[in-house]
Structure 1
Amino acid sequence: MKTLKIFILFLTLTTGIANAQFTKAELQVSGLTCALCSKATEKSLKTLPFVGDIKTDLMRNIFIITFKSGEAVNFDLISKKVQDAGFFVNSLKATFNFNGVNINNNAFSYGSDTFRLMNGTDKSLSGEVAVTIVDKGFAPRSVSKKYLGQTTDTAPANGGRIYHVAI
């Protein structure tokens, strides 16, 4: 009986941890002029170990990226792959599953990275919520300037990166 209780507790904890992750992203790329440009970018993105599937919308230059379950997502690598293909990230909106995630001082952690909510939502978030990364290189200059004009973040103690996001 004791073993069963421990197993159920372990299963509950790991399920909560597995839910707290990025599930998909909508990546808009600027500079694409043809289907070959889009295909080169898609091919470059598929080499990332956390990318599961990519669907392309050529009319809006958008890639819908589905992430592999249990794999840590690195947004800087996504941006680098797009730039290596010769293009630029115009916007990146990622869906995060907030089940079991604590938000303290308008920030949450994912892996070694910290995500600061720039539009100050003190309410608790649950389920899947779309967050838009507003850092330079992930959003148009006007959007980055709007959100990042007054920030004075210091590097997190765990050595990760601070991303600034809006809901």
Structure 2
Amino acid sequence: MKTLKIFIILLVLTTGIAKAQFTKAELQVSGLTCALCAKAAEKSLKSLPFIGEIKTDLIRNTYLLTFKPGEQVNFDQISKKVRDAGFFVNNLKATFNFAGIQVADNHFSYGGDTFQLMNAGKSPEGETALTIIDKGFAPKSVSKKYLGQLADTPASGSGRVYHVAI
């Protein structure tokens, strides 16, 4: 009976932790000139282990990426795959589920990376769309708007610091 109680407690704790993650992203790519270009970028993105499904919108040059549950998402790898295919990330908006995530001083950590919320009025809850505004993920005008007056933020983990806007 004691073993069953411990098992149930562990199951509840791991289920709660698993909810806090990036679930999907909308990736806008620049430099696509034809359907073959879009297919090349899609093929490159599909090789990433954390991407489950990709839906392409050729009219807007966007990809809707669905991430595999429980897999660690690496945005730098997404950007690298797009660049390696010969294109550029114009905009990356990722949906994060804040269930069980502590946001302190407009920062939160996930998977060893630190995310700094640049325009958060209050702490986000539930599924929230976050736009990565670092160089290489957003147009220069957007990066300049948010990052122009920013001091360096130390990473709380061993990973990278991403600057995001809601």
Question: Could you say which TM-score interval applies, normalised by the shorter chain?
Answer: over 0.9
Q: C-alpha separation between the residues in 2 aligned to 1:11 and 1:151?
A: 41
Q: C-alpha separation between the residues in 2 aligned to 1:149 and 1:113?
A: 22
Instruction: Tell me how far 1:129 sits from its aligned partner.
Output: 0.7
**4+ residue runs over 6 A deviation:** none
SS at match of 2:86: coil
User: How many percent identity over aligned positions?
Assistant: 73
Instruction: Tell me how far 1:6 sits from its aligned partner.
Output: 1.7
Partner of 1:81: 81
Instruction: Tell me how far 1:156 sits from its aligned partner.
Output: 1.6
Structure 2: runs of 5+ lacking an equivalent: none
Q: C-alpha separation between the residues in 1 aligned to 2:14 and 2:31?
A: 42
Partner of 1:54: 54
Size of the aligned set, in residue pairs, is 166
> After superposition, where does 1:1-167 map in structure 2 within 5 Å?
1-121=1-121, 123-167=122-166
> 8 Å contact 2:17–2:100 — kept in the other structure?
yes
Cα RMSD (Å): 1.1
> 8 Å contact 2:28–2:63 — kept in the other structure?
yes
> 8 Å contact 2:113–2:156 — kept in the other structure?
no
Instruction: Tell me how far 1:10 sits from its aligned partner.
Output: 0.8
Q: C-alpha separation between the residues in 1 aligned to 2:50 and 2:89?
A: 18
Instruction: Tell me how far 1:157 sits from its aligned partner.
Output: 4.6
> 8 Å contact 2:114–2:156 — kept in the other structure?
no
* Cα distance, 1:24–1:126 mapped onto 2, change above 3 Å: same
Structure 1: runs of 5+ lacking an equivalent: none
- What's the CA shift string for 1:95-145, capped at 9, x where partnerless? 001111100110111101000000033x23222111000000000000000
Q: C-alpha separation between the residues in 1 aligned to 2:161 and 2:30?
A: 24
Letter of the aligned partner of 2:78 in structure 1? I
Q: C-alpha separation between the residues in 2 aligned to 1:72 and 1:157?
A: 17
Q: C-alpha separation between the residues in 1 aligned to 2:12 and 2:151?
A: 38
